């Protein structure tokens, strides 16, 4: 682990052999080895205590259970997996809503997982989270204008006039008319709320933005325009995204790299094109089997897997996926497979 911390890229397959002609071309090629990752999390876990009626701790929900992942400046990394596998919890642990139970969170070269609250809040200027439900994430009693001024009030010493100018600029960038400044969130449509939510965060010019299921609940046409907006913002503000989704079709169009999560762990990690072309983990394979082909009707059904994932309160021994895996053998119950390099990806499976 120490070794990997010194050279985080080694963990993610950039140092090793890569499939030549990865398919995404120059813009999405792997970052040069000399650049330090923006975000580098190492063995991060977040458990939620389960308490009895008398407040005694009787167990733990292992929502995130040992995840290492690095994100380099300028890339968009997808984080996919079934609902309840710990995607949001990982995102919220990174931004400090949840304290990590274990592990390190390095952002811009600094460990931020254990900073005192005041210091931790300052990190938010560079590290932001876009909530899944944009309507619910805006204070219903605040007008859009005040909502957009708030981040600037928190993190800058700009005058009222300067803030007004910044708000105007961001409003134009996300494509909202000035008239919306005097509306309450509930007076906006879902797509407009999404834009306000994004504007609120982008006024700070953060370096890393975590997008939590940003297209869920939107109908297909709105979804397309919102994705377009995310791409445009990425160019305009030189953003890096951690893109949480369970919609693989969307992830495929948005992300250069992809991490597949199952029950609090990453089971496969690699370039999106490589993972889609040649998924190595049986879980990834079953996920991809459920992705509609281009031209076919979009079904928003999740996965073609048998049964439900196990409860994160009661994680199976050995490989977490073995209870639903067609390939499972004795070794899978005995030993938890480590993420290891297979082809261009990193895969946690004894049989990959």
Partner 1 sequence: MSALWFVVSRLARDRAALVGLVLILGLVFSAVFAPLLATHPDDVYELHPAERLRAPSAEHWLGTDRMGSDMYSRLLFGARITILIGVIAVGASLVIGVPLGLVAGYYHNWVSDALMRVSDVFLAVPQVVLAIAIAQTLGPSLPNVILALSVTYWPWFARIVYAESRTLEKEVFIESTQALGASPWRLVVLHVLPNIASPIIVRASIGMGFTILTAAALGFLGLGPPPPTPEWGRTIAESREFLPNAWWYAAAPGLAIFLTVMGFNLLGDGLRDVLDPRLRRGRHRAA
Ligand X SMILES: Nc1ncnc2c1ncn2[C@@H]1O[C@H](COP(=O)(O)OP(=O)(O)O)[C@@H](O)[C@H]1O
Shortest spacing between CB 183 and partner 1, in angstroms: 11
Q: Is 88 in the site for Mg ion (CB under 5 A)?
A: yes
Residue nearest to Mg ion (CB): 88
Angle between helices 144-155 and 190-202 (to 10 degrees): 20
Start-to-end CA span in the chain (Å): 22
As a whole number of angstroms, the distance between CA 352 and CA 343 comes to 10
Q: Is 128 in the site for Mg ion (CB under 5 A)?
A: no
Binding marks (x or -) toward partner 1, 186..225, rule CB under 8 A? xx---------x--xx------------------------
Q: What does 228 bind: partner 1, Mg ion, ligand X, none (CB cut-off 5 to 8 Å by kind)? A: none
Of positions 24, 43, 137, 190, contacts partner 1 by CB under 8 A:
137
**Which run of H or E residues covers position 68?**
strand 57-71
Are the beta carbons of 67 and 43 closer than 8 angstroms?
A: yes
Q: Is 253 in the site for ligand X (CB under 6 A)?
A: no
**In this structure, are strands 102-107 and 76-80 parallel, antiparallel, or unpaired?**
unpaired
Q: What does 63 bind: Mg ion, ligand X, partner 1, none (CB cut-off 5 to 8 Å by kind)? A: ligand X
Q: Is 150 in the site for partner 1 (CB under 8 A)?
A: yes
Give the nearer residue to ligand X in terms of CB position, either 203 or 245: 245
Identify the burial level of 69 via C-beta atoms within 10 angstroms of its C-beta, where 0-12 means exposed, 13-18 middle and 19 or more buried: buried
Give the nearer residue to ligand X in terms of CB position, either 92 or 350: 92
Query: Could you identify the residue written with the tokens 């990982």?
Result: 90
Give the nearer residue to partner 1 in terms of CB position, either 237 or 276: 237
Strand 345-347: give its sheet, edge to edge: 127-130, 208-212, 240-245, 76-80, 257-262, 265-271, 345-347, 340-342
Which region holds residue 46: left if phi is over 0, alpha if psi is between -120 and 50, else beta?
beta
Beta bridge partners of 241: 76, 209
Shortest spacing between CB 93 and Mg ion, in angstroms: 13
**In this structure, are strands 110-111 and 76-80 parallel, antiparallel, or unpaired?**
unpaired
Considering only residues 82 to 121 of the shown chain, the ones binding ligand X according to CB under 6 A are 83-89
Q: Is 326 in the site for partner 1 (CB under 8 A)?
A: no
Q: What does 155 bind: partner 1, ligand X, Mg ion, none (CB cut-off 5 to 8 Å by kind)? A: partner 1
Considering only residues 54 to 73 of the shown chain, the ones binding ligand X according to CB under 6 A are 61, 63
From 287, 234, 295, select the one nearest 83 (Cα to Cα): 287
Which three-class secondary structure state does DSSP give residue 89?
A: helix
Residues forming contacts to partner 1 in the complex (CB under 8 A) are 92, 95-97, 121-125, 128-129, 131, 133, 136-141, 150-151, 154-155, 186-187, 197, 200-201
Binding site for Mg ion (CB under 5 A): 88
Q: Where on the chain is the footprint of ligand X (CB under 6 A)?
A: 48, 61, 63, 81, 83-89, 312
């Amino acid at each position: 682990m120490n070794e990997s911390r010194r050279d985080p890229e080694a963990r993610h397959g950039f140092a090793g052999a890569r499939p030549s002609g990865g398919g995404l071309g120059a813009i999405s090629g792997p970052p040069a080895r000399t650049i330090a990752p923006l975000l580098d999390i190492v063995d991060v876990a977040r458990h939620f205590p389960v308490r009895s009626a008398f407040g005694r701790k009787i167990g733990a929900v292992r929502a995130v259970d040992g995840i290492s992942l690095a994100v380099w400046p300028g890339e968009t990394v997808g984080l996919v997996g079934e609902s309840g596998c710990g995607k949001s919890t990982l995102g919220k642990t990174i931004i400090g809503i949840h304290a990590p139970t274990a592990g390190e969170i390095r952002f811009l070269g600094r460990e931020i997982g254990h900073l005192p609250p005041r210091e931790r809040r300052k990190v938010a200027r560079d590290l932001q989270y876009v909530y899944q439900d944009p309507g619910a994430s805006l204070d219903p009693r605040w007008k859009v204008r005040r909502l957009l001024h708030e981040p600037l009030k928190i993190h800058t010493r700009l005058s009222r006039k300067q803030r007004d100018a910044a708000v105007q600029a961001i409003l134009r960038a996300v494509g909202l008319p000035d008239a919306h400044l005097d509306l309450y969130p509930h007076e906006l449509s879902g797509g407009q709320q999404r834009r306000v939510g994004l504007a609120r965060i982008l006024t700070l010019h953060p370096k890393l933005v975590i997008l939590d299921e940003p297209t869920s609940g939107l109908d297909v046409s709105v979804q397309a325009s919102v994705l377009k907006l995310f791409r445009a913002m990425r160019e305009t503000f030189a953003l890096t995204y951690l893109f949480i989704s369970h919609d693989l079709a969307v992830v495929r169009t948005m992300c250069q790299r992809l991490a597949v999560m199952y029950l609090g762990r990453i089971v496969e990690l690699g370039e999106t094109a490589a993972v889609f072309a040649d998924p190595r983990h049986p879980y990834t394979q079953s996920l991809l089997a459920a992705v509609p082909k281009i031209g076919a009707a979009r079904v928003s059904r999740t996965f073609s897997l048998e049964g439900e994932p196990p409860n994160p309160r009661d994680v199976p021994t050995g490989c977490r996926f073995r209870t639903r895996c067609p390939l499972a053998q004795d070794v899978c119950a005995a030993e938890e497979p480590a993420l290891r390099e297979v082809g261009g990806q990193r895969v946690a499976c004894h049989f990959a």
